[in-house]
Amino acid sequence: MSNKPETIELNPEELKTLLERVKAAVSEEDYEIIKEMTEVLQAMSQVVDQKAASIKRLLKQLFGQKSEKKKGCVKRFGERPG
């Protein structure tokens, strides 16, 4: 059993609709907490995406562009030439 939480992707309209349903179901105080939590999660997600892109750029600068797949360059073990 994996402890990894399921990823849920919502576009802005879906999130707005969800928050409207939540607002109708909980107290105003709870709604404000939930709304702030969703804003924090959105901000954190953007930061993670930006960091991932930065890491990819750094790896590309350090090791260069990938040119060929290994399987295209190296013959498989036990394969006879030609």
17 in a structural domain = no
Number of domains in the chain: 1
C-alpha separations of 18 from 8, 12, 21, 47, 82 in Å: 13, 10, 5, 23, 62
Spatial distance between the Cα atoms of 72 and 75, rounded to a whole number of angstroms: 8
* pTM listed for this prediction: 0.60
Quote the strand ranges of 1-82, DSSP E. none
79 in a structural domain = no
14 in a structural domain = no
pLDDT at 74: 59
Q: By residue range, what is the domain housing residue 44? A: 28-64
64-75 confidence digits (pLDDT tens): 877 666 665 555
pLDDT at 39: 93
